[in-house]
Structure 1
Amino acid sequence: MTATVTPLPVTFRPTLTRVVLLGIGFALVAVLTVMSFLLESFTAGDRATFIGTGLLGLGVLALLSRPKVVATPEGVTVVNLTTVRRLAWAQIVRVNLRPGDSWVHLDLADGTSLPAMGIQTGIAKEKAIADARALNALVAEHGTGRVAN
């Protein structure tokens, strides 16, 4: 069975996971802000600490929601939690999403493997499998042609 190739550019990201994480983050800020003003015994410093804690939590959850994989005619950009790596199509030898993997791994021509957290099985496993297949088809079309099933 031949997979249809997705038109470029395309961005793969765990949308549902991102919505959940950012929703929780904004709810955390709102709850801690409201609580800090409802508790009359709090000083300005206490309120600032509560609100700051909420903002810190939002920042961590926003960082966790950052991963994505962007495929363009020039290559693939992998955005993980704290790193961004740009790859030419020829650098990608294989796209792997094995049973039990949390996210896709890209086997590279230099013998290393790069996790691509933008395609993760977390909440939406079927979407992750479909995205991995789409990236697999793109690598077959634009890359070396040696792609795992």
Structure 2
Amino acid sequence: MPDQTTPALPTLPVTFRPSRTRVVLLTAGAAIFVVLTVIALLIPGLSPGERTSFIFTGALLFGVLMLLSRPKVVADESGVTVVNIATSRRLAWAEIVQVNLRPGDPWVFLNLSDGTSLPALGIQPGIAKERAIRDARALRALADTRSAGAPETPQG
């Protein structure tokens, strides 16, 4: 009987992202923008500056929610790109020592060969816990497979 915890390796390139969370954030952002814009246009007696401030506030909130929906993890033949809220980092497969998603973790953590840990917000068990676990296992299997065949890089 095959091992249930080891997933089949996904076809590369593959993108992991919290799709449901992304949909909720972008839908809420669009709704907030539309509601504030409609309010700005329908309230009588507002000056053009006040109307603009309503619309600007809606656009600002939508922009913040767009940033929060940005995280993803993209795996391809040469490595992994981790895109978090404000940063992006490219890693070679050999740099990834371990992929962790422990109970209670808000997202996956990548233990790196330099001794640091990198949060990968693109795999998070918020709304879709089972999918996050499946994605973390797939990324772990890819990292184990790709790192095993990578030549050791000398540390200078």
SS at match of 1:46: helix
Q: Where does residue 17 of structure 2 map in the other structure?
A: 13
Identity of counterpart residues, as a percentage?
A: 63
What is the number of equivalent residue pairs in this alignment? 145
Q: Is the 8 A contact 1:17 1:65 kept in 2?
A: yes
1:67-88 CA deviation, whole Å, 9 max, x = no partner? 0000000000000011000000
- How many Å apart are 1:120 and its aligned residue? 0.5
Q: Where does residue 74 of structure 1 map in the other structure?
A: 78
Q: Distance in 1 between matches of 2:60 and 2:30?
A: 11
1:112 has 2:94 as partner? no
SS at match of 1:119: coil
Q: Distance in 2 between matches of 1:41 and 1:50?
A: 14
* TM alignment of 1:30-109, pairs within 5 A: 30-109=34-113
Q: Distance in 1 between matches of 2:131 and 2:147?
A: 23
CA RMSD of aligned residues (A): 0.9
Runs ≥4 in structure 1, deviation > 4 angstroms?
A: none
Q: Is the 8 A contact 1:93 1:144 kept in 2?
A: no
Equivalent AA in structure 2 for residue 93 of structure 1: V
TM-score, normalising length: structure 2 = 0.91
SS at match of 2:121: strand
Q: Is the 8 A contact 1:97 1:105 kept in 2?
A: yes
Q: Where does residue 141 of structure 2 map in the other structure?
A: 137
1:91-123 CA deviation, whole Å, 9 max, x = no partner? 000000000000000000010000000000111
- How many Å apart are 1:59 and its aligned residue? 0.5
Residue number among 9, 13, 27 corresponding to 2:31 in the alignment: 27
1:3 has 2:7 as partner? yes
TM-score, normalising length: structure 1 = 0.95
- How many Å apart are 1:3 and its aligned residue? 2.3
Q: Which one has a larger percent strand, Structure 1 or Structure 2? A: 1
SS at match of 2:123: strand
